[in-house]
Amino acid sequence: MSIGHNGQMPLTPTWPALPQVAWSDTCATLQLWMQIVGKVRLALMPAMNHTWNVTLYPTISGLSTLPIPYGARMVQIDFDFLEHTLSVQCDDGASRTIALTPMPTAEFYRELMAALVSLDVPVRIWPMPVEVAAPIRFDRDDLHRSYDAEFVQRFWRILLQNTRVITIFRSRFRGKVSPIHLFWGALDLACTRFSGRTAPEHASVAGLPDRVTRDAYSHEVSSCGFWPGAPGIEPFFYSYAYPEPPGYAESSIAPAAAFYDSNLGEFVLPYEEMRQLADPNAALLDFLQTTYDAAANCAHWDRAALEVGALSR
């Protein structure tokens, strides 16, 4: 990577283009690699409400498991999308590094498992992908092998910018709210607000155990985030309410490019349209706020008690 004449890194777009067709193979491969890492976290972390124990977190250079307990030791796995490496680090200073290059998912799986064994952190995971069509066992998957470093880095930068804007939105809420975290099953970044009231039992969701779905939606939520899309589907921001209250879908929201998708049951803001706006940051913040307003107003949340500054208005 080149350095500018003033000794600084060259500037990159705040919201880079991410057309699905340009990196769909890499996106599918990266999703599987993140599932392998995420399943290591799942295997070692104590269970937490709403499966918050399994997620990954955007960092200044990639994505991280954050520290994971292994007996009295701690281990952390980090994707670095600037240097394109995967590092496994222990609290005693021992570490291993794997170069992120085009390779079969089976090879990535073997290298990570071998790195953990060499650090005396052997971990067994269920080697089947979740939430993907036609899943192949990780250790037998020679099909998914693409790694386009440029588009992987663009995806990470978008996650990081999402984190920046959603952090502002998150700070406006005093009630229970989730971290800003990446669910590696579907590869979506999410942040969820809770009303504090219990919700009706959620219907089954294909690819997920009922216990996971029903724990995730045990209480009323307004949830937002970003999804990078899939073949034939371009990336978008989303916002939904569960249970969806009457009148929600007909609510007025901003910006004008956003709309309610009746097939998905959520509001959608296409990423490409958002990044082309004069002020993308303000547009995203408007989308987050107005879709939450719709959920909270239609479901009659106690906004005075839940929102920062509401008591003084």
Which is nearest to 136 in space by CA: 229, 20, 35, 37?
35
Would 86 be classed as within a structural domain? Answer: yes
Strands (E), 45-177: 57-58, 62-64, 68-70, 73-80, 85-90, 95-99
- CB neighbours (10 Å) of residue 152? 22
Kindly indicate the confidence band of residue 1, based on its pLDDT and cuts at 50, 70 and 90: very low
Q: What is the pLDDT of residues 192-215, one digit of tens each?
A: 999 999 998 888 887 778 888 888
Band of pLDDT at residue 313, cut at 50, 70 and 90: very low
What is the average per-residue pLDDT within 82-106? 98
Region 178-186: mean pLDDT is 97
Question: Contact 77/113 with Cβ under 8 angstroms?
Answer: no
Looking at residue 71, its amino acid is G
Residue carrying structure tokens 């390779």: 103
309 band by pLDDT with thresholds 50, 70 and 90: confident
At 125, list the tokens: 């995971």
Q: Under a CB-based contact definition with an 8 Å cutoff, are residues 218 and 48 in contact?
A: no
State percent of the chain over pLDDT 90. 88
- Based on the fold, state whether residues 281 and 162 are members of the same structural domain: yes
- With contact defined as beta carbons under 8 Å apart, do 190 and 44 qualify? no
Whether pTM > 0.85 for this model: the answer is yes
Identify the sign of the CA torsion 115, 120, 124, 130.
Answer: negative
Give 99's DSSP letter. Answer: E
If asked whether residues 156 and 296 sit together in one domain, one would say: yes
- Among 108, 140, 172, the domain-final residue is 140
Average pLDDT, the chain: 94
CA triple 40-60-78, angle to 5 deg: 20
118 and 148 in contact (C-beta within 8 Å)? Answer: no
State the Cα–Cα distance between residues 53 and 216, nearest whole angstrom. Answer: 12
Q: Is residue 1 part of a domain?
A: no
* Cα separation values, 300 from 32, 192, 197, 244, 287, Å: 40, 17, 11, 12, 20
Q: Do 195 and 265 share a structural domain? A: yes
CB 221 within 8 A of CB 197: no
Q: Which domain holds residue 278?
A: 149-312
The reported pLDDT for the residue numbered 215 is 83
- CA–CA distance, 41 with 75 (Å, rounded to integer): 10
Residue 8 confidence (pLDDT): 55
Is residue 285 within 8 Å of residue 275, measured between CB atoms? no
84 shares its domain with 155: no
Same domain membership, residue 161 and residue 30: no
The three-class DSSP label of residue 242 is: strand
Same-domain status, 171 and 72: no
Query: In this structure, are 127 and 161 located in the same domain?
Result: no
Do 92 and 135 belong together in one domain? yes
Domain final position from 116, 140, 164: 140
The domain total for the chain is 2
In whole angstroms, how far apart are CA 185 and each of 132, 151, 193?
8, 20, 20
Torsion sign, CA atoms 109, 114, 115, 121: positive
